[in-house]
Structure formats: structure tokens, C-alpha cells
Structure 1
Amino acid sequence: MNISVIVPLKNEEESLPELAAWIERVMDTHRFTYEVWMVDDGSTDDSWNVILQLAAQNPNIKGIKFQRNYGKSAALNEGFNAAQGDVVITMDADLQDSPDEIPELYRMIVEDGYDLVSGWKKKRYDNALTKNLPSKLYNYTTTRMSGVKLHDMNCGLKAYRKKVIKSIEVYGEMHRYIPVIAKWNGFRKIGEKVVEHRPRKYGVSKFGLERFINGFLDLATIMFIGKFGKRPMHLFGALGVLSFFVGFVIAAYLAIAKILFDKVNMTDRPLFYLGLLCMIIGSQLFLTGFIGELVTRNAPERNAYLVEERMDLTNETVNYKSKVH
């Protein structure tokens, strides 16, 4: 199968028939074999019945229905698990992403060799104050922290090589950082394509201001897991030792001052409590790192790695993706 299209959605009953017809037209024109996974993220309108009707008309359309709203990341993750295409395309259901971009995104994966291609909505029709400016700040911050240079990290229109989506897991609000997650999993060839951004035709946006707070916290989580997920002591232990050392130096200074100048009362000085606090925090951080190491070393996936190539017994190179335990 050439392409799997994953469409996460919530309350998009009006746009689904038009989107399905548009995708079908593009696929038939370019003679792609394909499947479309529409993931209903707890819609309260008639979206699921529309999906059932579309699936009855076109066997390439398939659906997944959540019992309640879990979020876009959960919907994408379920779609990733179900997808069978060699190239996986994700797009929003609100018709702001154009299916006409699919052939070129497919070509960039298959012919240009990209692992992931992210859309860049260079010209947007969103509100400049509530979406465009925060989006630019978010993209700048993410690029600086992660090193993944994309103009539109959160664009819903993306293309993936199959092994990418089978190697990652997204939850919370982490769909915004899939390129960062892919990079941490060793997929370095990440590209970008300018895509058309269309005005919303039906319904309203499903995202509020809380996405900025949640997005920042998820970015911090990804950065921590990517760097220290298998070695927490390297972070907490180092911070703990540094903090304890600062506290120890302060305590040593006050002790020497007490010995040399007997009139100095150590406990009357704020510096004493600062040193004590540093040593306590240092000890707690070190123990946190130690406990983290115990948890990590007893985790069932502690030695799970993505293997791209391995020499078999006849010294022939075998290309595959697997986990080594």
C-alpha cells in the first residue's frame, strides 16, 4: 500500500464528506493505493455516523471512535498504530489542509529520502494576535531548544516514512513535537514544504489558550526524556552534587569563621540557613537521581533500541527495524 492518511477529528460532520471526496479524487488521479483512517476523538455531533456512511461508500475509508475526548495526540497515536501504508500523511479534518499537497509530500519521502516532511503554512488565515504571533514565538523557542529547524512545527499536514511512526509514541500534547521526538529516535532527515493554508469553512477551532502552557510543559518533558530518560542520575546527581557542594562550602566558611572569631554566632546569620538548605536540596536531588536509576534499570524496555542494520551469519547486511533486548 502506498499511502495511509490519518485524519484526527472532533465535531467535523460538515467537512468530512467534502474531505473524503477530495482525498479520493487526488488518490485516483495519481493511481495511489491508499487507506484513510478517520479517528473520532469523542465527537458530540454526528461525525461518527458520517464516517460510517463514507466507509460504506468507499472501502478505503476506515474509522476509529474514542468513547470520550482524549486529545489529538491520542488520536494520532491510534492512527499510527493502525496505518499500513509505506508513507503516512496526517492532516486536519477542517479543510484547512489541502489533499492536493499529498503527491508532492509522497514524492519527497520516496524519492528525496526524507524521514519526515512537515508542512509550512507560510501564508495563514488565522487571527494574527491569538494564533500567528504565539505560533511564531512557539516555533522559535522549540527550534532553539531542540535544534530541529522548522518554521511551522505544529502544522497538521505532515508526511512520514512508515518506520518513523512505528518507532514513536505520542500522548498528552506531544503531537506538536513529533519532529523533535523523531529526531531523538535517530531520524535525522527532516524536511519542510510550503503548503496551502485554507480559511476554515465549517465549525470553529477546537484549541484554546491552555495549549501554550501544556505545549511548553510537554516540550520540557520531551527534552528531558530525550537526553536523560535512560540516565536520570546524570541530571539529578550532577545538580545534587553541585547544590550540596555549595552548601558545604558555606558551612565550612561559617565553621572557620566561628573558630577564628569566637564571637560569631553561626545560627544568627542567614548564610547558615542558605548553606543548610543547599545541602538538603542537594541530598534530595541526588536521591531522586538514584531512585530514577533504580526505576530505569528495572523497566522492561531498559535495553530496547531501534536497529537499522545488522550483519547476519553470512555477513550480508539486513535492513530492518527491530528492538534488541
Structure 2
Amino acid sequence: MDISIVVPLLNEEESLPELCDWINRVCNENKYSYEIILVDDGSTDNSWNVVEELSRANTSIKGIRFQRNYGKSAALNEGFRAAQGDVVITMDADLQDSPDEIPGLRKMIVDDGFDLISGWKKVRYDNTLTKNIPSKFFNAVTSRVSKIKLHDFNCGLKAYRKKVVKSIEVYGEMHRYIPVLAKWAGFKKIGEKVVEHRKRKYGVTKFGWERFVNGFLDLLSITFVGKFSKRPMHFFGLWGTLFFLIGLGFTLYLIISKFISPEFNLTNRPVFYLALTAILIGMQLFLAGFISELIARNAPGRNTYLIEDKIGL
């Protein structure tokens, strides 16, 4: 199969028929063998009934329905697990991503040899104050921390080589950091393509200000996990050693001072409490490192989601 199009959705009953017709038209015009995987993230409207109707009319359309709302990352993760195409393309269900971008994205993966292509909505139709300015700041920080030169990490329109989506796990709210996850998994050829951003035609946005706060917390998490998930003792042990040596240095200073001056009162000195605190912190960090090593080496599978129904899978 040439392409899998994974579409996470939440309360998008109005846009789904138009989106699927558009994708069908583009894929048929380019003679692609394809599948559309619609992942219903706990919609409370008529979205799942629409997915069922679309699937009955076109067997290339498949559906996954969550029992409740888990979030976009969970929807993408399950869509990636189900995808069979050589190239996997993700897009939002609100018609702000254009399916006309599919051939260009696929070409950059198949012909140009990229592992991942991220869309860049260079011209946006969002409110400047509430979205554009925070988004630019967020992307600049993420690019600097991750050393990945992208302008729009959070763009829902992306293309992947199949091996990429089968090698990463998207959880929590990590969907905005998929390029970072791919980099940590060993996929270095990550590119960018300017894509069309369309005005919202139906419904309302599902994201608010809290996504920026959560985004920076997730960036810290993914940076730590990417570097130290397989060797947590390297992090905790380093800082544990540093604090322990600082405490040991203060302790030696106190002992030497006591020998030089017998009347020297150890417990009345602030240095005594600094030494005690530093040694205790160092020991706790070492303990945290040992426990993390045990967890990392014996962790069972995670991120299992309750799926209420499936179509065609």
C-alpha cells in the first residue's frame, strides 16, 4: 500500500464527509493505493456514525473509536499501530489541512529520502495574539533545545516513512514533539515543507492556552527521557556524586578545623548543616538512580487504550 492517512478527530461530524471525499479525489488522481484511518477520540456528537457510513461506502476508510477521550497523542499512536502504508501522513479533521499537499509530502519521503516531513503553516489564519505569538516562541525554544530546525513543530500535517511510526511511541501530549521522538529513535533526515493553512469551516478549536504550558513541561520530559530513559543512573548518579563530594568537602573542612583548633564547635557552624544536607541529597539522588535503573530494566508495556469499536481493521 502506498499511503496511510491517519486522521485523529473529536466532534468533527460536519467536516468528515468533505475531508474524506477530498482525500479520495487526490489519491485517485495520483493512482495511489491508500487507506484512511479515522481515529475517534471519544466524540460526543455524531462523528462515529458518520465514520461508519463513510466506511460502508468506501472500504479504504477505516475507523478506530476510543471509549473515552484520551487526547490527540493517543489517537495518533493507535493510528500509527494500525497503518500499513509505506508512507504515513497525518492531518487534522477540521479541514484546515489541505489534502492537496499529499503528493508533495509523499514525494519528499519516497523520492528525496526523508524520514519525516513536517508541515510549516507559514501563512496562518489564527488569532495573532492567542496563537501566532505564543506558537512562534514555543517553536523557537523547541528548535533550540532539540537542535531540529523546524518552524512549526505542532503542525498536524506531517509525512513519515513507515519505519518511523512503527519505531516511536506517542503518549501524554507528545504529539507536538514527534520530530523529537523520531530523532531520539535514530531518524536524522527530518525536513520541512511549506503547506497551506485554511480557515476553519466547521466547529471550534479544541486547544486553549494550557497547551503551551503543557508543551514546555512535555519538552522537559521528552528531553530527559530521550537522553536518560535507558541509563537513568547517568543523570541521577552525576548529580548525586556532585552533591556528595560537596558535602564530603565541607565535612573534611570541619574535621581539619577541629584538629587544628580543639575548641572549634562543629554543630554551631552553618557549614555543618550544609555538609549534612549535601550528603543526604547526594545519597537520595543515588537511590533514585538505582530505583530508576530497576524500573527501566523491568518496565512492562504501557499506553494501552480502551478501544470500543473498530472498522476494517
Pick the TM interval, shorter chain: over 0.9
Any idea what SS the aligned residue of 1:36 has?
A: strand
Give the match for residue 191 of structure 1.
191
Matches within 5 A, 1:161-310: 161-299=161-299
Whichever residue aligns with residue 131 of structure 1, its letter is K
Q: How far 1:195 moved relative to its partner?
A: 0.3
Higher RCO (C-alpha 8 Å, min separation 6): 2
The separation in 2 between residues aligned to 1:285 and 1:132, in whole angstroms, is 40
User: Superposition RMSD on alpha carbons, in Å?
Assistant: 1.4
Q: Distance in 1 between matches of 2:67 and 2:295?
A: 32
State the alpha-carbon separation in 2 of the partners of residues 38 and 298 from structure 1. 34
Instruction: Give the Cα separation in 2 of the matches to 1:44 and 1:291.
Output: 42
Q: Distance in 1 between matches of 2:135 and 2:269?
A: 48
Deviation at 1:255, TM superposition (A): 2.6
Q: Tell me the residue number matched to 2:35.
A: 35
Q: Which residue of 2 aligns with 1:313?
A: none
Runs of 4+ aligned residues of structure 1 deviating over 6 Å after TM superposition are none
Q: Quote the sequence identity (%).
A: 69
State the one-letter code of the partner of 1:214. N
Q: Give 3-state SS (helix, strand or coil) of 1:280's partner.
A: helix
TM-score normalised according to structure 1 size: 0.89
Deviations 1:196-223 (A, max 9, x none): 1111111111112221222222222221
SS of the residue 1:85 aligns to = coil
Partner of 2:72: 72
Residue 112 of structure 1 pairs with residue 112 of structure 2: yes
In 2, the alpha carbon distance for the partners of 1:294 and 1:40 equals 36
Residue deviations 1:126-163, cap 9 Å, x none? 11121111111111111111111111011000000111
TM-score of the pair, normalised by structure 2: 0.93
1:216-266 per-residue CA deviation (whole Å, 9 max, x = no partner) reads: 222222212221111111111111010010111112222322332344432
Tell me, in whole angstroms, the C-alpha distance in 1 between the residues paired with 2:274 and 2:128.
47
SS at match of 1:164: helix
Structure 1 CA distance, aligned partners of 2:125 and 2:256?
67
> Aligned residue for 2:2?
2
Give, as a single letter, the amino acid of the residue that structure 2 aligns with 1:192.
E
- Whole-Å separation in 2 of the counterparts to 1:146 and 1:253: 42
Q: Unaligned stretches of 5+ in structure 1?
A: 302-325
**AA in 1 matched with 2:246:** V
AA at the equivalent of 1:268: N
- Please give the per-residue CA displacement for 1:85-104, whole angstroms capped at 9, x wherever unaligned: 11000000011100000000
CA distance in 1: counterparts of 2:212 and 2:258, whole angstroms:
51
Deviations 1:163-202 (A, max 9, x none): 1101111010011111111111111111100001111111
Tell me, in whole angstroms, the C-alpha distance in 1 between the residues paired with 2:300 and 2:53: 42
Residue in 2 that maps onto 1:89: 89
CA distance in 2, matches of 1:263, 1:96: 77
The aligned amino acid for 1:164 is V
The corresponding residue for 1:139 is: 139
Segments of structure 2 that go 5 or more residues without pairing to the other structure are: 302-313
**Residue number in structure 2 paired with 1:24:** 24
Question: Partner letter of residue 238 of structure 2?
Answer: A
Q: Distance in 2 between matches of 1:225 and 1:165?
A: 18
Distance 1:121 1:69, change over 3 A: same
